[in-house]
Amino acid sequence: MRLALFYTMGLLLLLAPSLHAQYVLKGYLGVEGGESFHYDMHFSDSSGTISGVAYTYSILGKEVKARIKGTIDKTRQTIHFQETEILYNKGFYSNATICLIQATLQYKNMGEQSPSLNGSINSSDITQVSCSNGSITIQNASDAATLFNTAIIPIAKTTVTNPIKSKKPIKVVYDTSTVFNNEAAANTSSKTVIDKVTHGDEKVFAWKSDTLTIIIWDGGKVDGDIISLFINDENVLHRYTLSKMQKIMTFKHLKKVTTIQIKAENEGSEPPNTADILLLDGSQEHRLISYNPQGKNSTVRLVRNPE
C-alpha cells in the first residue's frame, strides 16, 4: 500500500526555457520486508533548491505520484528531499504501507568502485506518525557528476556498490489521496514473478545488456544464512551473512554466457539456506529465491542476446 516506501537510476540533464536545470533520476526503492519498487524523480534545480514530482511503481500505469521538494549541497555532494503530498494513486499496491518519504542521497566516486548515489529513507504520514524505512539506490550514478560539477574518475570493470542499511522495522501507516478497498487493491495490484532455484534445477535467462546488477538479501526470517557468490567460477562474495540490508553488486562487460552460482555455506537456524535475489538487466528484472542444504549450489545462466 502506498500512502502520503535489490533494482536502476539513470540521470538525464535537460535545459528548460527558464534556464533552470531539469533532471530525471530513475532508480529503485527498497523497503523493510524485502519489497523493491521503481522510484523515478523528475525535478528542477534552481540555485540548489529542487522541486518536482516522484513516481513509485512496479509497472508503469499503476503508479503513485507525489510532489517533492528539497536541496542539493554541491560541497557535501548530497541531495536531500521530501515528498510533501500525494497527487494521485493509479493502483499501486504493496504489502507494506508507505508514507511520505524523506531521504538524503550521498554521491561517491571512489575510483576503484563505480560512482554511487544512494541513501536511506524514512517516511511519515500527514500527522507525522512514523512509517516504514528503507533505501533508494541510483544505478547509473556516474551521470550524477553533472549535478555536482564533479569530474568522473575511471572505474574498474567489476564494481560493487555498498547499500544503505535500513533502520529497525516499525509498524507503518499511510495516508493517500485515493483510497482503495480490498477488492480494488486485489484487482489492480501486480506481483513480480518469483522463480525458485536450487541445486539440480538451474534457471536460464535471455540477457540483453552487457551489465548485471545483483541485489541479494534475506527476505524472510533472518536466521544467520551464509552464502558465497560465484560469477563464471570467480568468487565475488565470500561467506556473506544475509540480512535485511540489501547487498548490491554490479558487473560489466558480460560474456556471451554468464554463470551465477549461489553456494549455501550453512543452513542458519532454520534450514534450508534461503536467499532473496534480484537480477537487473537494464529495466528488466528477474526475482529469485535460492534455497539449498549446506554445501550445495543454485545455478543461474544468463545468455546474452543483444537487440
Q: Among residues of the chain, what percentage have pLDDT more than 90? A: 35
pLDDT surpasses 70 at 10: no
Q: Which residues contact 300 (CB under 8 A, 6 or more apart)?
A: 197, 202, 203, 204, 205, 259, 260, 261, 262, 279, 288
Q: CA–CA separation, 6 vs 20, rounded Å?
A: 33
**Mean pLDDT computed over 97-123:** 79
CA distances from 218 to 96, 177, 207 (A): 16, 33, 25
Beta strand extents in the chain (DSSP E only)? 11-15, 21-31, 36-46, 49-57, 63-73, 78-89, 100-108, 116-124, 134-138, 158-161, 194-197, 203-207, 211-217, 226-231, 234-241, 247-252, 257-264, 273-281, 284-292, 297-304
Could you report the per-residue pLDDT of 18-72, keeping only the tens digit for each?
456 788 888 888 887 677 888 999 999 888 899 999 999 988 888 999 999 999 9
Could you report the per-residue pLDDT of 160-205, keeping only the tens digit for each?
444 333 333 322 222 222 222 333 333 333 446 789 999 988 999 9
Grid cell at residue 31: 523497503
Total-model pTM = 0.50
Burial letters 61-94, b for 16+ CB under 10 A, else e: eebbbbebebebeeeebbbbbbbeebeebebbbb
